[in-house]
Amino acid sequence: MLRVAVVGSGPSGVYTAQSLVQQSVVPGVRVDVLDRLPCPYGLVRYGVAPDHEKIKSLQQNLRVVLEDERVGFVGNVEVGARGLTPARLLELYHAVVYCVGAARDRRLGVPGEDLAGSHSATEFVSWYSAHPDAVGHGFPLDGRSAVVIGVGNVAVDVTRILARGADELRATDVPQGALTALAASRVREVHMVGRRGPGQAKFTTKELRELGGLEGARVEVEPADLALDPSFADPAALPAVNRRNLEVVRGWATGAGDAVAQEAARRIRLRFFLRPVELLGEDGRVAAVRFERTEPDGAGGVRGTGRYEEIEAQLVLRAVGYKGIALSGLPFDEARGVVPNEAGRVLRDGVPSAGEYVAGWIKRGPTGVIGTNRPCAKETVTSLLADAAELSARPVTADPVGALRDLGHEPVAWPGWLSIERAESALGVSLGRGRVKIPDWAGLRAAAREGP
Ligand code: NAP
> What digits encode the pLDDT tens for the residues 256-292?
555 444 568 899 999 999 999 999 999 999 999 999 9
CB 36 within 8 A of CB 45: no
Distance, in Å, from the CA atom of 151 to the CA atom of 136, rounded to the nearest integer, reads 27
- The number of beta carbons lying within 10 Å of the beta carbon of residue 302 is 23
Distance, in Å, from the CA atom of 353 to the CA atom of 365, rounded to the nearest integer, reads 20
DSSP symbol at 368? S
Give CB contacts under 8 A, 24+ apart, made by 347-355: 354/387, 354/390, 354/391, 355/90, 355/93, 355/94, 355/95, 355/96, 355/387, 355/391, 355/394
**Domains present along the chain, CATH in parentheses:** 2-103+323-412 (3.40.50.720), 108-320 (3.50.50.60)
- The number of beta carbons lying within 10 Å of the beta carbon of residue 113 is 16
Q: What is the pTM of this model?
A: 0.95
User: For position 364, what pLDDT does the model report?
Assistant: 97
Backbone angles phi, psi at 37, to 5 degrees: -95, 155
369 lines ligand 1 (CB under 6 A): yes
How remote is the CA of residue 322 from the centroid of ligand 1, in Å? 8
Please give the C-alpha separations between residue 60 and each of 65, 91, 161, 163, in angstroms, as whole numbers: 9, 33, 24, 29
158 lines ligand 1 (CB under 6 A): no
How remote is the CA of residue 122 from the centroid of ligand 1, in Å? 12
Is 333 in a helix, a strand, or coil?
Answer: strand
How remote is the CA of residue 405 from the centroid of ligand 1, in Å? 39
Nearest residue to 11 via CA among 376, 381, 424: 376
User: For position 135, what pLDDT does the model report?
Assistant: 83
Give CB contacts under 8 A, 24+ apart, made by 23-28: 23/381, 23/385, 25/385, 25/388, 26/2, 26/385, 26/388, 28/1, 28/2
* Element (DSSP H or E) covering residue 156: helix 153-163
Q: In this structure, which residue's CA is closest to atom 15 in ligand 1?
A: 320
* Element (DSSP H or E) covering residue 384: helix 373-386
366 lines ligand 1 (CB under 6 A): yes
360 lines ligand 1 (CB under 6 A): no
Q: Which residues of 377-394 are buried (b: 16+ CB within 10 A; e: fewer)?
A: bbbbbebbbebbeebbee
Nearest residue to 317 via CA among 435, 192, 216: 192
How remote is the CA of residue 435 from the centroid of ligand 1, in Å? 30
Regions of the chain where pLDDT drops below 70: 256-263, 451-452
157 lines ligand 1 (CB under 6 A): yes
User: Residue 271 carries which side chain, given as an amino acid letter?
Assistant: R
Evaluated on CA atoms 327, 331, 335, 338, the torsion sign reads negative
Q: Ligand 1 pocket test: pick from 108, 154, 156, 367 the residue with the most ligand atoms within 8 Å of its Cβ.
A: 154
How remote is the CA of residue 246 from the centroid of ligand 1, in Å? 17
Contacts of 323 (CB under 8 A, 6+ apart): 102, 104, 105, 106, 337, 366
How remote is the CA of residue 148 from the centroid of ligand 1, in Å? 11
Alpha helix (H) ranges present in 22-92? 42-46, 53-56, 58-66, 86-92
Alpha carbon 447 to its chain's center: 25
User: Residue 264 carries which side chain, given as an amino acid letter?
Assistant: A
Q: What average pLDDT does the chain have?
A: 95
Nearest residue to 117 via CA among 2, 281, 326: 281
How remote is the CA of residue 88 from the centroid of ligand 1, in Å? 36
400 lines ligand 1 (CB under 6 A): no
Please give the C-alpha separations between residue 404 and each of 151, 219, 410, in angstroms, as whole numbers: 42, 52, 8
